[in-house]
Copies of this chain bind each other. A is one copy, B any other.
Amino acid sequence: MATVADGGEAWVIEAVRRRMGPPPAGAIGIGDDAAVLAVPGGGRILASQDMLVEGIHFRREWMPPERIGAKAVAVNVSDIAAMGGRPFALLMALALPGALEQAWVLRLLDGVAEAALRVGAPVVGGDTVGSPDGVVLDIAVLGTAALPTLRAGAQPGDWLVVTGPLGGSAAGLACFQAGAVWPGAEPLEAAALCRHACPPERLEAGRILAGHAHAMTDISDGFWTEVSALVDPVGLGAAVDQERVPIWPRAVDVARHLGASSSQPLGWALWGGEDYELLAAVPPNAWAALEGELLAVGVQAAVVGRVEPGPGVWLQRAGQRVPMDSASRGGFDHFGPR
Protein backbone atom coordinates (compact mmCIF):
# COMPACT_ATOMS: atom_id res chain seq x y z
CA MET A 1 0.00 0.00 0.00
CA ALA A 2 1.28 3.45 -0.89
CA THR A 3 2.17 5.62 2.09
CA VAL A 4 2.12 9.35 2.71
CA ALA A 5 5.93 9.37 2.44
CA ASP A 6 5.71 7.73 -1.01
CA GLY A 7 3.56 10.57 -2.32
CA GLY A 8 5.18 13.37 -0.35
CA GLU A 9 3.76 16.78 0.34
CA ALA A 10 2.62 17.26 -3.26
CA TRP A 11 0.40 14.19 -3.00
CA VAL A 12 -1.15 15.35 0.28
CA ILE A 13 -1.89 18.85 -1.01
CA GLU A 14 -3.39 17.51 -4.23
CA ALA A 15 -5.50 15.01 -2.26
CA VAL A 16 -6.83 17.79 -0.04
CA ARG A 17 -7.54 20.01 -3.02
CA ARG A 18 -9.46 17.26 -4.86
CA ARG A 19 -11.37 16.02 -1.85
CA MET A 20 -12.40 19.47 -0.65
CA GLY A 21 -13.68 20.67 -4.02
CA PRO A 22 -13.74 24.21 -5.34
CA PRO A 23 -14.13 27.18 -3.00
CA PRO A 24 -17.51 28.92 -2.77
CA ALA A 25 -18.41 31.57 -5.35
CA GLY A 26 -16.33 34.72 -5.03
CA ALA A 27 -13.75 33.05 -2.80
CA ILE A 28 -10.16 31.97 -3.32
CA GLY A 29 -9.51 28.67 -1.62
CA ILE A 30 -6.81 26.06 -1.20
CA GLY A 31 -3.55 26.81 -2.98
CA ASP A 32 -2.91 30.47 -2.26
CA ASP A 33 -1.01 31.77 0.75
CA ALA A 34 -4.28 32.66 2.44
CA ALA A 35 -7.91 32.05 1.56
CA VAL A 36 -9.96 35.05 0.50
CA LEU A 37 -13.50 34.79 1.84
CA ALA A 38 -16.67 36.79 1.47
CA VAL A 39 -18.29 37.14 4.89
CA PRO A 40 -22.03 36.47 4.62
CA GLY A 41 -23.71 39.80 5.18
CA GLY A 42 -20.79 41.82 3.85
CA GLY A 43 -17.07 42.25 4.05
CA ARG A 44 -14.15 40.12 2.97
CA ILE A 45 -11.43 38.47 5.01
CA LEU A 46 -8.19 36.56 4.55
CA ALA A 47 -7.64 33.35 6.51
CA SER A 48 -4.66 31.06 6.81
CA GLN A 49 -3.33 28.42 9.16
CA ASP A 50 0.15 27.02 9.86
CA MET A 51 0.99 24.13 12.13
CA LEU A 52 4.36 23.65 13.83
CA VAL A 53 5.08 20.12 15.03
CA GLU A 54 7.89 19.28 17.43
CA GLY A 55 10.41 17.01 15.74
CA ILE A 56 9.40 18.26 12.29
CA HIS A 57 9.51 22.08 12.46
CA PHE A 58 11.43 22.61 15.65
CA ARG A 59 13.21 20.84 18.45
CA ARG A 60 12.69 22.00 21.97
CA GLU A 61 16.42 21.84 22.72
CA TRP A 62 17.34 24.06 19.76
CA MET A 63 15.85 27.36 20.80
CA PRO A 64 14.10 29.13 23.66
CA PRO A 65 10.32 28.62 23.84
CA GLU A 66 9.69 32.34 23.29
CA ARG A 67 11.29 31.96 19.86
CA ILE A 68 9.14 28.97 18.93
CA GLY A 69 6.00 30.90 19.88
CA ALA A 70 7.08 34.02 18.02
CA LYS A 71 8.05 32.03 14.94
CA ALA A 72 4.65 30.32 14.86
CA VAL A 73 3.04 33.75 14.71
CA ALA A 74 5.54 35.04 12.14
CA VAL A 75 5.05 32.21 9.64
CA ASN A 76 1.29 32.72 9.80
CA VAL A 77 1.50 36.46 9.41
CA SER A 78 3.81 35.92 6.44
CA ASP A 79 0.85 34.37 4.58
CA ILE A 80 -1.15 37.55 5.15
CA ALA A 81 1.82 39.68 4.08
CA ALA A 82 1.99 37.64 0.87
CA MET A 83 -1.56 38.77 0.03
CA GLY A 84 -0.78 42.42 0.78
CA GLY A 85 -3.00 42.20 3.83
CA ARG A 86 -3.19 43.23 7.45
CA PRO A 87 -3.76 40.61 10.18
CA PHE A 88 -6.39 41.40 12.82
CA ALA A 89 -6.77 38.25 14.92
CA LEU A 90 -5.18 34.90 15.69
CA LEU A 91 -6.55 31.59 16.93
CA MET A 92 -4.12 29.24 18.65
CA ALA A 93 -4.42 25.51 19.24
CA LEU A 94 -1.78 24.03 21.48
CA ALA A 95 -1.15 20.34 22.19
CA LEU A 96 1.08 19.81 25.23
CA PRO A 97 2.56 16.66 26.79
CA GLY A 98 1.64 16.40 30.47
CA ALA A 99 5.28 16.06 31.54
CA LEU A 100 6.22 19.43 30.05
CA GLU A 101 7.27 22.08 32.57
CA GLN A 102 4.77 24.87 33.19
CA ALA A 103 7.59 27.41 32.98
CA TRP A 104 8.35 26.31 29.41
CA VAL A 105 4.70 26.73 28.44
CA LEU A 106 4.53 30.22 29.95
CA ARG A 107 7.58 31.26 27.95
CA LEU A 108 6.08 29.84 24.76
CA LEU A 109 2.90 31.82 25.43
CA ASP A 110 4.97 34.96 26.07
CA GLY A 111 6.55 34.54 22.64
CA VAL A 112 3.16 34.14 20.98
CA ALA A 113 1.66 37.07 22.88
CA GLU A 114 4.52 39.45 22.16
CA ALA A 115 4.57 38.64 18.46
CA ALA A 116 0.78 38.92 18.29
CA LEU A 117 0.96 42.35 19.89
CA ARG A 118 3.67 43.46 17.49
CA VAL A 119 1.66 42.56 14.39
CA GLY A 120 -1.62 43.91 15.81
CA ALA A 121 -3.43 40.58 15.80
CA PRO A 122 -4.41 39.41 19.31
CA VAL A 123 -5.05 35.75 20.11
CA VAL A 124 -8.82 35.66 20.54
CA GLY A 125 -9.44 31.95 20.96
CA GLY A 126 -8.37 28.44 20.15
CA ASP A 127 -7.91 25.19 21.96
CA THR A 128 -5.59 23.57 24.48
CA VAL A 129 -5.26 19.80 24.50
CA GLY A 130 -2.95 17.08 25.71
CA SER A 131 -0.38 15.37 23.52
CA PRO A 132 1.05 11.87 23.95
CA ASP A 133 4.40 12.90 22.47
CA GLY A 134 5.57 16.30 21.33
CA VAL A 135 4.29 19.86 21.32
CA VAL A 136 2.02 20.95 18.45
CA LEU A 137 1.30 24.62 17.93
CA ASP A 138 -1.24 25.49 15.26
CA ILE A 139 -2.10 29.10 14.63
CA ALA A 140 -4.80 30.44 12.34
CA VAL A 141 -4.64 34.06 11.26
CA LEU A 142 -7.43 36.31 10.04
CA GLY A 143 -6.71 39.43 8.04
CA THR A 144 -8.05 41.98 5.62
CA ALA A 145 -6.77 43.40 2.35
CA ALA A 146 -8.20 46.14 0.19
CA LEU A 147 -7.25 44.19 -2.92
CA PRO A 148 -5.53 40.87 -2.16
CA THR A 149 -2.63 39.98 -4.44
CA LEU A 150 -2.93 36.35 -5.47
CA ARG A 151 -0.33 33.77 -6.39
CA ALA A 152 -1.86 33.54 -9.86
CA GLY A 153 -1.60 36.58 -12.12
CA ALA A 154 2.00 36.80 -13.28
CA GLN A 155 2.40 38.07 -16.84
CA PRO A 156 5.19 37.43 -19.36
CA GLY A 157 7.81 40.13 -19.01
CA ASP A 158 7.14 40.74 -15.31
CA TRP A 159 10.22 41.06 -13.18
CA LEU A 160 10.65 38.68 -10.24
CA VAL A 161 11.36 40.62 -7.07
CA VAL A 162 12.41 39.30 -3.66
CA THR A 163 12.36 41.37 -0.47
CA GLY A 164 15.56 40.18 1.16
CA PRO A 165 18.45 37.74 1.33
CA LEU A 166 17.86 34.01 0.82
CA GLY A 167 19.45 30.91 2.26
CA GLY A 168 20.02 32.20 5.78
CA SER A 169 17.29 30.02 7.24
CA ALA A 170 18.68 26.87 5.64
CA ALA A 171 22.17 27.83 6.85
CA GLY A 172 20.75 28.19 10.36
CA LEU A 173 18.99 24.85 10.12
CA ALA A 174 22.28 23.25 9.04
CA CYS A 175 23.96 24.74 12.13
CA PHE A 176 21.19 23.42 14.39
CA GLN A 177 21.53 20.00 12.78
CA ALA A 178 25.29 20.15 13.34
CA GLY A 179 24.69 20.62 17.06
CA ALA A 180 24.48 24.39 17.62
CA VAL A 181 22.04 25.65 20.23
CA TRP A 182 20.66 29.12 20.69
CA PRO A 183 21.36 31.11 22.80
CA GLY A 184 24.97 30.17 23.45
CA ALA A 185 26.29 29.67 19.93
CA GLU A 186 29.32 31.63 18.78
CA PRO A 187 28.53 34.77 16.70
CA LEU A 188 28.69 33.32 13.17
CA GLU A 189 26.46 30.37 14.10
CA ALA A 190 24.18 32.64 16.13
CA ALA A 191 23.62 34.86 13.10
CA ALA A 192 22.60 31.81 11.06
CA LEU A 193 20.42 30.34 13.81
CA CYS A 194 18.62 33.65 14.05
CA ARG A 195 17.84 33.59 10.32
CA HIS A 196 16.14 30.26 10.95
CA ALA A 197 14.44 31.14 14.21
CA CYS A 198 13.40 34.75 13.53
CA PRO A 199 11.60 35.07 10.19
CA PRO A 200 11.44 38.61 8.82
CA GLU A 201 8.17 40.51 9.17
CA ARG A 202 7.15 41.77 5.73
CA LEU A 203 3.67 43.19 6.31
CA GLU A 204 4.53 46.72 5.19
CA ALA A 205 6.52 45.45 2.23
CA GLY A 206 3.61 43.19 1.29
CA ARG A 207 1.17 46.09 1.23
CA ILE A 208 3.58 48.18 -0.85
CA LEU A 209 4.13 45.31 -3.30
CA ALA A 210 0.37 44.72 -3.51
CA GLY A 211 0.05 48.17 -5.03
CA HIS A 212 2.21 47.14 -8.01
CA ALA A 213 2.53 43.37 -8.27
CA HIS A 214 0.59 41.08 -10.60
CA ALA A 215 1.23 38.08 -8.33
CA MET A 216 2.87 37.42 -4.98
CA THR A 217 3.74 34.64 -2.54
CA ASP A 218 6.02 34.18 0.43
CA ILE A 219 9.14 32.04 0.33
CA SER A 220 8.28 29.32 2.80
CA ASP A 221 9.10 26.13 0.89
CA GLY A 222 12.21 27.45 -0.86
CA PHE A 223 12.81 30.08 -3.53
CA TRP A 224 12.78 27.69 -6.46
CA THR A 225 9.59 25.98 -5.38
CA GLU A 226 7.88 29.35 -4.99
CA VAL A 227 9.02 30.65 -8.40
CA SER A 228 7.53 27.51 -9.91
CA ALA A 229 4.33 27.99 -7.92
CA LEU A 230 4.03 31.50 -9.32
CA VAL A 231 4.41 30.58 -13.00
CA ASP A 232 3.65 26.85 -13.53
CA PRO A 233 -0.09 26.95 -12.72
CA VAL A 234 -0.68 29.86 -15.13
CA GLY A 235 1.23 28.14 -17.96
CA LEU A 236 4.21 30.48 -17.86
CA GLY A 237 7.92 30.05 -17.23
CA ALA A 238 10.69 32.04 -15.61
CA ALA A 239 14.39 32.72 -15.91
CA VAL A 240 16.41 33.54 -12.80
CA ASP A 241 19.84 35.15 -13.07
CA GLN A 242 22.16 33.31 -10.73
CA GLU A 243 24.33 36.35 -10.01
CA ARG A 244 21.26 38.36 -8.99
CA VAL A 245 20.05 35.87 -6.38
CA PRO A 246 20.62 37.71 -3.08
CA ILE A 247 22.40 35.01 -1.12
CA TRP A 248 22.54 35.75 2.59
CA PRO A 249 25.98 37.38 2.96
CA ARG A 250 27.26 35.18 5.79
CA ALA A 251 26.23 31.92 4.13
CA VAL A 252 29.71 31.52 2.61
CA ASP A 253 31.34 31.71 6.04
CA VAL A 254 28.79 29.34 7.53
CA ALA A 255 29.34 26.81 4.74
CA ARG A 256 33.10 26.96 5.30
CA HIS A 257 32.57 26.68 9.07
CA LEU A 258 30.48 23.55 8.57
CA GLY A 259 32.87 22.07 6.04
CA ALA A 260 30.22 22.22 3.31
CA SER A 261 31.01 22.68 -0.37
CA SER A 262 31.45 26.13 -1.90
CA SER A 263 28.20 25.67 -3.86
CA GLN A 264 26.23 25.15 -0.65
CA PRO A 265 25.29 28.84 -0.14
CA LEU A 266 23.63 28.96 -3.57
CA GLY A 267 21.90 25.67 -2.79
CA TRP A 268 20.59 27.07 0.50
CA ALA A 269 19.33 30.17 -1.31
CA LEU A 270 17.61 28.29 -4.14
CA TRP A 271 16.26 25.21 -2.39
CA GLY A 272 16.39 25.90 1.32
CA GLY A 273 13.05 26.72 2.89
CA GLU A 274 11.66 29.12 5.45
CA ASP A 275 13.26 32.38 4.38
CA TYR A 276 9.82 34.05 4.58
CA GLU A 277 10.81 36.85 2.24
CA LEU A 278 8.20 37.84 -0.33
CA LEU A 279 8.45 36.94 -4.02
CA ALA A 280 6.45 39.07 -6.44
CA ALA A 281 5.94 39.41 -10.19
CA VAL A 282 5.91 43.13 -11.00
CA PRO A 283 5.69 45.02 -14.27
CA PRO A 284 9.17 46.43 -15.10
CA ASN A 285 7.90 50.01 -15.32
CA ALA A 286 6.81 49.83 -11.66
CA TRP A 287 10.22 48.87 -10.34
CA ALA A 288 11.79 52.32 -9.91
CA ALA A 289 8.96 53.59 -7.71
CA LEU A 290 8.61 50.29 -5.92
CA GLU A 291 12.29 50.05 -5.02
CA GLY A 292 12.11 53.47 -3.38
CA GLU A 293 8.93 52.74 -1.48
CA LEU A 294 10.42 49.52 -0.12
CA LEU A 295 13.68 51.21 0.86
CA ALA A 296 11.64 53.78 2.76
CA VAL A 297 10.41 50.99 5.07
CA GLY A 298 13.87 49.47 5.35
CA VAL A 299 13.46 46.69 2.82
CA GLN A 300 16.16 46.26 0.19
CA ALA A 301 14.45 44.30 -2.58
CA ALA A 302 16.18 42.78 -5.59
CA VAL A 303 15.16 41.88 -9.13
CA VAL A 304 16.25 38.28 -9.64
CA GLY A 305 14.76 37.33 -12.99
CA ARG A 306 11.73 37.61 -15.20
CA VAL A 307 8.57 35.78 -16.15
CA GLU A 308 8.67 34.20 -19.62
CA PRO A 309 5.92 33.07 -21.97
CA GLY A 310 7.29 29.56 -22.43
CA PRO A 311 7.04 26.86 -19.78
CA GLY A 312 9.95 25.84 -17.59
CA VAL A 313 11.96 27.55 -14.90
CA TRP A 314 15.59 28.24 -15.76
CA LEU A 315 18.72 29.33 -13.96
CA GLN A 316 20.93 31.58 -16.10
CA ARG A 317 24.63 32.08 -15.62
CA ALA A 318 27.39 33.28 -17.94
CA GLY A 319 25.00 33.43 -20.86
CA GLN A 320 23.83 29.84 -20.41
CA ARG A 321 20.62 28.54 -18.93
CA VAL A 322 20.03 25.24 -17.14
CA PRO A 323 16.59 23.80 -16.54
CA MET A 324 15.89 23.46 -12.86
CA ASP A 325 13.58 20.87 -11.48
CA SER A 326 12.87 21.67 -7.88
CA ALA A 327 11.45 18.21 -7.24
CA SER A 328 14.68 16.50 -8.26
CA ARG A 329 16.78 18.83 -6.15
CA GLY A 330 14.92 18.43 -2.94
CA GLY A 331 13.15 21.57 -1.85
CA PHE A 332 11.58 21.06 1.52
CA ASP A 333 9.20 18.13 1.61
CA HIS A 334 7.47 17.81 4.96
CA PHE A 335 6.78 14.13 4.46
CA GLY A 336 10.09 12.96 3.02
CA PRO A 337 12.86 11.19 4.92
CA ARG A 338 14.63 13.47 7.37
Chain A residues proximal to chain B, CB less than 8 Å: 1-7, 9, 11-13, 15-16, 19-21, 23-24, 27-30, 32, 34-35, 37, 39-43, 45, 47-57, 86, 88-89, 91-103, 105-106, 109-110, 112-113, 116-117, 122-134, 136, 138, 140, 142, 144, 334-338
Contact = CB atoms under 8 A, between A and B. Distances in A.
A49 B140 contact: yes
A48 B91 contact: yes
B56 A122 contact: no
A92 B106 CA distance: 26
A144 to B, nearest CB: 5
Chain multiplicity (copies)? 2
A133 B97 CA distance: 13
Contacts of A54: 132
Q: DSSP majority for the A interface? A: mixed
Contacts of A16: 92, 94, 109, 123, 126, 128
B4 A105 contact: yes
Given A32-B125, A96-B335, 7 more contacts: A4-B101, A4-B102, A19-B112, A20-B122, A20-B123, A35-B91, A48-B91
B9 A132 contact: no
B49 A102 contact: no
Given A7-B102, A56-B130, A133-B134, A125 B39 contact: no
A6 B128 CA distance: 15
17 contacts: A1-B103, A3-B98, A4-B96, A4-B105, A12-B105, A15-B102, A15-B109, A24-B122, A28-B124, A30-B126, A34-B125, A43-B43, A49-B140, A53-B95, A93-B140, A98-B336, A130-B335
